[in-house]
DNA sequence: CGTGTAAGGAATTCTGACACG
DNA sequence: CGTGTAAGGAATTCTGACACG
């Protein structure tokens, strides 16, 4: 169920006009942030951009930062930093699980 | 978080063309099912229909039933039945919670 | 009943460019 | 750098209607 809802959040199905309404950004701004690699909408056969709810969240984040005068280059760096952070946290979590698994395996073998 | 994801599922932001791709139904069919009250898309200022992921699930359900030869009138009845069921289940749940609450209250008062 | 289709109009989206600062 | 705007074309969506069965 959670996995299911997650797929909704990431599904790229929203047109740029709707995104504009939802974020308050102009079409020009939204396209420009794509040019600066801040977002990556899906393109259908004829080149029409489609965004996900997650993209919308990112755009609202960008809007906030732009209002604070942060340049797109800086925003991009920040986003990459956060990505790194998430990755390293995931790595730590994986390591912990691996440790538990190993311990479990040792005990399990002892009993057999 | 779950509440958050739920809102994505119910947010009407998808155009009929995308819905058509996602469900495999033609525009004509999708509009017709609306005429038969099986779905109720949102209409923006200029009358363009917008659907939610939930609407898409309903449409896929409809597609299955139509393939089995079920008429739209029947499908509508089934949907209303399911709705009743959900409501009565919710009522039962509420009653149970109310009972627990009352019991809790009695004990609580006894202790005070 | 459920779906296809042609019809005409209105609004959307796309790209590349010039403008301003 | 970030955003506005006019330009021209292509595709979307809408409604009401006729068709078939």
Given a contact cutoff of 8 angstroms between Cβ atoms, the answer to whether A8 and B5 are in contact is yes
Residue A85 has what pLDDT? 94
Q: What whole-number distance in Å separates Cα of residue A112 and Cα of residue B6?
A: 46
Q: Give B43-52 pLDDT, tens digit per residue.
A: 999 999 999 9
Q: Which residues of B touch A11 (CB under 8 A)?
A: 53
Cβ–Cβ contacts within 10 Å for residue A76, how many?
Answer: 15
H/E segment holding residue B15: strand B14-15
Q: Which residues of B touch A9 (CB under 8 A)?
A: 5, 8
Q: How far apart are the first and last CA of chain A?
A: 37
How far: B61 CA to C1 C1' (Å)? 19
Task: State the pLDDT confidence band at A106, using cuts at 50, 70 and 90.
Answer: low
A14:B13 CB<8 A = yes
Q: Nearest nucleotide by C1' from B67 CA? A: C2
B70 is near strand D: CB distance < 7 Å: no
Q: Give B29-69 pLDDT, tens digit per residue.
A: 999 999 999 999 999 999 999 999 999 999 999 999 999 99
CATH ID of B1-70, from 3.90.1150.10, 2.60.40.1120, 1.10.3720.10, 1.10.1660.10: 1.10.1660.10
Nearest Cβ partner of B15 from A6, A15, A53? A15
Residue A107 has what pLDDT? 63
């Amino acid at each position: 169920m959670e996995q299911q809802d997650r797929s909704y959040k990431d599904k790229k199905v929203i047109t740029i006009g709707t995104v504009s309404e939802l974020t308050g950004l102009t079409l020009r701004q939204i396209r420009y942030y794509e040019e600066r690699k801040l977002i990556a909408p899906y393109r259908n056969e004829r080149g029409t951009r489609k965004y996900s709810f997650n993209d919308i969240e990112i755009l609202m984040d960008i809007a906030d930062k732009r209002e604070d005068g942060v340049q797109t280059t800086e925003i991009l760096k920040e986003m990459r930093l956060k990505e790194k952070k998430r990755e390293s946290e995931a790595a730590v979590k994986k390591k912990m699980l691996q440790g538990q698994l190993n311990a479990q395996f040792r005990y399990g073998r002892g009993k057999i």
